[in-house]
Structure 1
Amino acid sequence: MELRHLRHFVALAEEEHFGRAAERVFVVQQALSNSIKNLEEEVGVPLVLRTTRKVQLTPAGREFLAAARSTLQEADKVIERARRAARGEVGRLTLGFVSGLVFGGLPDVVRTFREQYPNVSVDLRELTAQEQEAGLRSGQLDIGLMLLPVRDPAFAYEALWRQELVAALPGSHPLARKERLDIQDLADEPFVFFPRQIRAAYFDQVMRWCAAAGFAPRIVQEAIEVPTLLSLVAANLGVFLPIRFFQRVSLPGVVYRPVNAAPIIDIVAVWRRSDDDPVVRAFMQVARAVLVGERVGEADSKL
């Protein structure tokens, strides 16, 4: 039994005429007649009474009509759900992100995505870059948001955030009176920073920047979370070099100053090159639109 047989039967039941029903379903009358005959043979009982004037349903036909309408409605729902899934409008998205992106526009991206795609379930997981890469390989993550570099050729990526570093200083620090700093201004200052194993690319980029200015930062305290590091700055333990969007963290006792020739930190969306999931494409489209003011430069690979 095929859905077209059910559609032909419903059209005939509602039109009560083979000619009009055939026009309604865009087939010739003989094809419609054959379709109804095949349906009756499969069901095993007569469904219609044929007269010279009109078509009437048998008692079995009336019962079958209700079931046929219900089946077609469910089939239409299934078809529409498949089409919506192909457009990325239904499904599930598991998204990994590095600590700190909650201050960098990620909530805006997720909120907008959920507004535009309310039937997609979003699962957020705060993970290190290494954990995200493992999750992508295993299929447990659909997209990872992390710092460069991305070395696995199985991954495609696109920069969503490209942000320069700024200096976070204790509010009472003499350098806080300057509108802009040079990195050399910090040469004799104690630093608070991430352990290298937590943010290797970030750590190395800062070390290279300082080395080019002729000094190695004296790190006096380490912490793995940016809010903790900013709290250490507020406690006057040292200075810190966060990504610019952390200026949105207003913490008493901390001031932010731009630094001349500060390096750019790329935070990228990463996904499997082999993945053609429409939900991933939909999320990337929303992220690009929301973060247009946070991103510069060309993408390595776009989905």
Structure 2
Amino acid sequence: MLEIKHLKTLEALSREGNLVKAAESLNMTQSALSHQIKLLETQLETELFKRKTHPLQFTPAGQLILESSRNILPQMQQLERQLVALQQGEIGRLWIGIDCHTCFEWLLPLLRPYQTQWPSVDLDIVPSFHEPPLQKLPAQKLDFVVTSDPEPLKGVDYTALFSYELVAVLPLDHSLLAKPFLTPKDFSNLTLITYPVPEEKLDVFKQFLHPAKIRPEAISFSELTIMMLQRVEAGRGICVLPKWLVKKQTDFQHLPTRSLSESGLWSKLYAATPKALTKQAYMQDMINLIAERMEL
């Protein structure tokens, strides 16, 4: 029954003080505005204002609608602005999931400059303890996933972010330092210190050791990169980490590294995004920011 145009009409009547000026402000003829008001009064079965009064006087029903219009119209205007901004890619939601154990190391420092540039984007990192983050994209539980394992999912795009080399970090006096690079066979007598994630999620296994059907003599786990490096320093094994990550660990830069195979073991990270959002400006800026800052 009541429509936005009716709220605008009463607001214009209150602002302008008479029917003629109210019609002009609404880009309507006086007769069209009079007809609209009369039709609404018929539907409501009550008068909205007293005719031939100066200044214009609203009835209790008219005053009730007028007071509501003063609350509702600003909210509608704000909503319209937000919808336009959303269509133009100025606002949105960017809930990020991470399918890569070391990604926190480089992603977190990028969030502050991104949020400064996009203050209207609802930005967050969403933990994915029990459900693979990629599976949350189609369900709209996430909007952006960093992964090294793209898998075909309906309605999901994958954009390459950057490539990086994985290197072995060894104790200072390790015998393998005599070699220019390591082979899978070198791991058969080693303790490999790694993150507590499934082997199929770790490139050192799925791209390097598993194809050669080699397993380390022992495997130990650590949640924290710094603890892995401390254990390497103490001679309790070796670890395999992204080269960029090793360079950032200033307290352990004295530890030597070796490539895995002559050509090195390389991995690539991707941004997984819903197809409907991939081209949004705020989404593209996050992709570009990662690619530019992490270009190796």
Q: In the aligned structure 2, how far is the partner of 1:208 from the partner of 1:123?
A: 32
CA contact (8 A) 2:199 2:206 kept: no
Q: In the aligned structure 2, how far is the partner of 1:6 from the partner of 1:138?
A: 38
Deviations 1:272-292 (A, max 9, x none): 44xx25898634522422441
Aligned residues: 283
Task: State the AA in 2 paired with 1:237.
Answer: R
Counterpart of 2:36 in structure 1 is: 35
Q: In the aligned structure 2, how far is the partner of 1:39 from the partner of 1:258?
A: 81
Q: CA deviation at 1:5?
A: 1.8
Counterpart of 1:292 in structure 2 is: 292
CA RMSD of aligned residues (A): 3.9
* Identity over aligned pairs, percent: 17
Among candidates 185, 203, 208, match of residue 206 of structure 1? 208
Instruction: Summarize the Cα distance change of 1:121–1:200 in structure 2 as closer, same or farther, 3 Å threshold.
Output: closer
Counterpart of 1:23 in structure 2 is: 24
TM-score by length of 1: 0.73
Deviations 1:169-191 (A, max 9, x none): 22455887x9xx83259975735
CA contact (8 A) 2:94 2:144 kept: no
Report matched runs for 1:136-285 at 5 Å.
136=137, 138-148=139-149, 150-154=150-154, 155-173=156-174, 182-184=180-182, 188=186, 190=190, 192-194=192-194, 197-207=199-209, 218-223=216-221, 225=223, 227=225, 228-247=227-246, 248-252=248-252, 255-257=255-257, 259=259, 261-273=263-275, 276-277=276-277, 282-285=282-285
Q: CA deviation at 1:3?
A: 0.5
Among candidates 120, 123, 135, match of residue 122 of structure 2? 120
CA contact (8 A) 2:7 2:69 kept: yes
CA contact (8 A) 2:7 2:65 kept: no
Counterpart of 1:300 in structure 2 is: none
State the secondary structure of the residue aligned to 2:241.
coil
Does structure 1 residue 74 correspond to structure 2 residue 84?
no
Deviations 1:90-123 (A, max 9, x none): 55625234211121x2102333444424561524
User: For structure 2, which runs of at least 5 residues remain unmatched after alignment?
Assistant: none
Q: In the aligned structure 2, how far is the partner of 1:185 from the partner of 1:9?
A: 81
Q: CA deviation at 1:231?
A: 3.1
CA contact (8 A) 2:169 2:256 kept: yes
CA contact (8 A) 1:48 1:55 kept: no
State the secondary structure of the residue aligned to 2:134.
helix
Q: In the aligned structure 2, how far is the partner of 1:157 from the partner of 1:44?
A: 59
CA contact (8 A) 2:137 2:274 kept: yes
Q: In the aligned structure 1, how far is the partner of 2:97 from the partner of 2:20?
A: 55
Instruction: Summarize the Cα distance change of 1:287–1:256 in structure 2 as closer, same or farther, 3 Å threshold.
Output: farther
